[in-house]
A and B are shown apart, each in its own frame.
Chain A
């Protein structure tokens, strides 16, 4: 006699197991028929299995996690640049990247975005391309060539028709943009723009050339290069060198739910601490995986959690977590020893000797794991 779906559902509902295990169970049960008795046995085994798999109280989870992430570091390559997915964009990988993540750097050495597109853009190469041109920061050097006429004291810009068309721009727009940014009025003559410096001096002329070079004619400042790639799933995805999450998310056609950046701090600013935590986990996991190193997510979670517990992304190390520890001795034993001692003397701090290093320094058993429990002999009756 098979158990009814309802009674099975009820039994599943009563399970106190992690969600992923329950999901696995539901998935497995879909294609099978079980009797009530069998189901009871399954539940019993699942519960005892979970009890066995659970981490024990008193476990020094922190140290284990730290070692699990630190130890593979020795096996990582130093080779800074690798091509992640797209050959055109260089991304820092390996140990330097891991250090960068753990340091919670404000500006990673190679910021990069992966922009997913909304359905009608993602399937259409032209539309995707159009969007790419729209966001890529376009400077004058890709649109044409610039030369100076010293006799006439003017700057001549010869625009490339093809490049303009590609980006859907007209010479007039270019002139307008230059005017907006530099306040210099450009004379338009077909595809040729002529600029005259405010003062007819040689220095001004060169200065003008320099400033025109730095004018962003189209796109978002900071997105140096945009590359389109067709994923295996058949959709087009944009990869950018440089990262400006906030502005990109606002653009029409961008799928804001999937678009991501490798700059954790930017994610924190735009989407908040929970998103930053997840970003830390993802970045660290990807970095380790790319090197072929297998580390359980739970370890990475713990590191990400301690970096983000109080609502701010804090680095691991003297300027972050280690520098804010409650114990004076633990801080002194890590880095900048003397300053910590002087400051705590001045404040009249009390070290309660609850951590590991403090107790090692004082020379007594640490309060962790087996040091946290006592054996008591019960007198025989």
Chain B
């Protein structure tokens, strides 16, 4: 079987089209403004002429004989009675007119200067650099001569009135005049002004023939009422033809010059809006309903335009999208695919001697009996649908060389994606697992790279269709290959939320785990043997959490680090740490310390980092799978929940908090008094008012922190929220402070709330009140409940956060687009240099040392130390 490699388009040449060439290209001259006759057939030489291609089913194109869908369409043309200016080139015409002689058409520069500039342009073109600056300079210099160097004709000032009018010395220049001037310019001069005499002569920008785009480009739609509704371009072309006809009739009838000129202007208007309907100074052409027409330029422009909307981004087949939900029992490289989707999406199998029996089996099963086959393609290219009735029959027919579209099954490789696709880990390859129900299921450990959560997020799945694509996906895009982020060379996949708190609970407790429980915990990790028990209780052996966790660590792993719960004591007690925050792993056994975010969390995991860099990604992958399963079972041993009772503080704590807050308010009052008495000491570079604000803010935030500390003292490690905050699973102590003790100051733009009524924030306060309460300090806790004014201030602060997020996403999105667009063509070459498309060297060695940021560890001292340690032995 031969798969022909498609031919490559080598280059695309741009240019202007000459009227002569266009007439040759055109399949028909269009003279009638009508589209269809009474029977609904396209009129000949009309705008819908079947020579231009067909859109109605049943008709055949008169040019190529193709049916609708086969015929690509062909251009026609309108002979304009009088030439008109192409709006897009009006500015260019102005420049050329001012730079050339009005009599002989020569470029108003000396021969030597011309040659010099031609040289410059040629070298720049060869290097692929923009020639704009040189050309602009030529125009600027040429404009300066008042008299032609070649025929001594005096040059007159040319005024340009937007969008398409040129006035020379008070006389309007008609397009015919301009055209005849442009025709006089010699090929040599054309090159000096940066144009191409073969492909873009200046006179071709004055239109004498107008291209009529094929009907396939402007299909009419039939409304429910049976009425035809024409495309915007067709409407515009109708206008042009009508005016063109009227113009001709008037001219033949010898109408006065004034009328002719008016008609000429009208024709110019219609052609202008046909090309661009958003030219400043020209009222946009409108549809009957008042909506501005979408003409040629509008079709190309912008996000939904042809370039960005249809050419750079394309819609694809073999894709699926649905809501996602978590499933910790799946491996992190797996993804649960709903049966309904698996039945719909297919992979093409080429029937060979080796797989013919397998293929036949799929066909036999039919489309309803997963995994079956949906279509077969015979050697002659005919496509047959497999149904549950003809399955058996077709299976017997299947021959070598046929193709069968088989349904997806477990283990097939697919691409999984969540928008916005901000980095390459937003699209990764997974292996599928067909599951019941209607959502995609994924291991929560892969949430961080996708930035996904399960509050209704949807994700997309794509099925690679060729063997090459599948190989690439597996080798380059597999989740396993993307655990390390190229952004900072650390793991981006790892435990989140319950994974962390689960393992933390397991490893931090002194819990005695009996044999049944221990085996139950490890069963899903496929570990069937337990280590030596930690001791016996009532004659029965028991194990501790650290031992259980050690079972999923590979042999040979040695690590020492400080856990997330580390309190940053002044002198580290190291192995005698009272918080059990000093983690020691020796030969795959967790000897001391607790497992928390630092050990297994995404972005931070020390263990994963080590596993990938010193072992391999397969092992790391297995570790994540085991850790997710173990943690979920670990957390289920004791259960883990958080309710409003967990925010409750004893009365003494509440008293302390209110005391702290009262004293803070007093201090603020004192500051205000000092300010009003003019006794406040000014900070350098600040006004007294600013100083006061800063002092108050400082005082109040200190008070809030103090309340947090009080709350923290009364809420110990038996509190779920504290466990989550300390272990890094979710939330922070600040969140807990706000819930239990005091919400604190609400700020807008980093300052206390100042806006509102004149002189005060709300009518509940006195004018000029500078106190804490009057400017958004929320004394209450969320549990205690906010007073009405506090609630309002809180809403103000909250709104700022929402606005901030909305603004940020658009700004950072644009930054991303610009960065990617500027850098997308850079590639590391085989010689180690980084070059762009014109082969310009951007860097001689990527990042000065040629090291992949994913392996940036190699440039760090630890890497060298490690090598030395392993060769010479660890230095004591």
Q: Which residues of B contact A (CB under 8 A)?
A: 6, 8-16, 88-89, 92, 128-131, 194-196, 198-200, 205, 276, 297, 300-302, 305, 307-308, 311-312, 420, 422-424, 468, 472, 476, 486-490, 683-686, 694, 749-750, 804, 807-809, 811-813, 815-816, 818-830, 832, 834, 836-838, 840, 842-843, 846-853, 855-861, 863-865, 867-868, 870-872, 875
Question: In the complex, which residues of chain B have a beta carbon less than 8 angstroms from the beta carbon of A57?
Answer: 828-830, 832
Q: Give the Cβ gap from A353 to chain B, nearest Cβ, in Å.
A: 6
For B840, the closest partner residue in chain A by CB is A309
Q: Give the Cβ gap from A70 to chain B, nearest Cβ, in Å.
A: 3
A42 touching B867, Cβ below 8 Å = yes
A302 touching B824, Cβ below 8 Å = no
A-B contact pairs, 19 of them (CB 8 A): A21-B858, A28-B861, A45-B867, A45-B870, A66-B816, A70-B815, A73-B816, A74-B813, A297-B847, A299-B487, A302-B834, A317-B818, A326-B837, A341-B14, A344-B14, A346-B200, A352-B837, A360-B311, A361-B307
Most chain A C-beta atoms within 10 Å of own C-beta, residue among B809, B820, B823, B832 = B823
Q: Give the Cβ gap from A78 to chain B, nearest Cβ, in Å.
A: 5
CA distance A207 to B872 in the complex (A): 81
A169-177, A184-192, A213-221, A332-340 - the one binding chain B: A332-340
| With A64-B853, A332-B300, A353-B8 already in contact, 13 other A-B pairs whose C-beta atoms are closer than 8 Å | A18-B851, A31-B875, A34-B868, A62-B827, A63-B424, A67-B819, A88-B684, A99-B811, A296-B488, A333-B308, A337-B307, A338-B88, A348-B200
A61 touching B826, Cβ below 8 Å = yes
A302 touching B842, Cβ below 8 Å = yes
Question: In the complex, which residues of chain A have a beta carbon less than 8 angstroms from the beta carbon of B683?
Answer: 87-88
CA distance A165 to B70 in the complex (A): 91
Question: In the complex, which residues of chain A have a beta carbon less than 8 angstroms from the beta carbon of B804?
Answer: 77-79
B16 touching A345, Cβ below 8 Å = yes
Question: In the complex, which residues of chain A have a beta carbon less than 8 angstroms from the beta carbon of B128?
Answer: 326
CA distance A371 to B830 in the complex (A): 14
B196 touching A347, Cβ below 8 Å = yes
CA distance A338 to B277 in the complex (A): 12
Question: In the complex, which residues of chain A have a beta carbon less than 8 angstroms from the beta carbon of B856?
Answer: 53, 296, 298
Beta-carbon contacts under 8 Å, A325-374 to B? 325-330, 332-334, 337-339, 341-342, 344-357, 360-362, 364, 368-370, 372
Q: Give the Cβ gap from B468 to chain A, nearest Cβ, in Å.
A: 8
For B803, the closest partner residue in chain A by CB is A78
Q: Is A126 an interface residue (CB 8 A)?
A: no
B823 touching A46, Cβ below 8 Å = no
Q: Is A301 an interface residue (CB 8 A)?
A: yes
A309 touching B829, Cβ below 8 Å = no
A50 touching B490, Cβ below 8 Å = no
CA distance A76 to B816 in the complex (A): 13
Q: Is A158 an interface residue (CB 8 A)?
A: no
How many residue pairs link A and B with beta carbons under 8 A? The number is 344
For B819, the closest partner residue in chain A by CB is A66
B827 touching A38, Cβ below 8 Å = no
Of B131, B476, B824, which one neighbours A370 at CB under 8 angstroms?
B476
A298 touching B846, Cβ below 8 Å = yes
A346 touching B852, Cβ below 8 Å = no
B826 touching A337, Cβ below 8 Å = no
For A54, the closest partner residue in chain B by CB is B850
A360 touching B828, Cβ below 8 Å = no
Question: In the complex, which residues of chain A have a beta carbon less than 8 angstroms from the beta carbon of B694?
Answer: 87
Q: Is A264 an interface residue (CB 8 A)?
A: no
Of A42, A296, A338, which one neighbours B853 at CB under 8 angstroms?
A296
Question: In the complex, which residues of chain B have a beta carbon less than 8 angstroms from the beta carbon of A24?
Answer: 860-861, 863-865
Question: In the complex, which residues of chain A have a beta carbon less than 8 angstroms from the beta carbon of B130?
Answer: 324
Q: Give the Cβ gap from B614 to chain A, nearest Cβ, in Å.
A: 12
For A339, the closest partner residue in chain B by CB is B88
Question: In the complex, which residues of chain B have a beta carbon less than 8 angstroms from the beta carbon of A59?
Answer: 827-828, 846, 852
A62 touching B15, Cβ below 8 Å = no
Q: Is A259 an interface residue (CB 8 A)?
A: no
Of B199, B488, B859, which one neighbours A348 at CB under 8 angstroms?
B199
CA distance A316 to B686 in the complex (A): 37
Q: Is A98 an interface residue (CB 8 A)?
A: yes
Question: In the complex, which residues of chain A have a beta carbon less than 8 angstroms from the beta carbon of B476?
Answer: 370
Q: Give the Cβ gap from A337 to chain B, nearest Cβ, in Å.
A: 5
CA distance A32 to B871 in the complex (A): 12
B812 touching A306, Cβ below 8 Å = no
Q: Is A68 an interface residue (CB 8 A)?
A: yes
Q: Give the Cβ gap from B686 to chain A, nearest Cβ, in Å.
A: 7
Q: Give the Cβ gap from A146 to chain B, nearest Cβ, in Å.
A: 19
For B851, the closest partner residue in chain A by CB is A53
Q: Give the Cβ gap from A84 to chain B, nearest Cβ, in Å.
A: 14
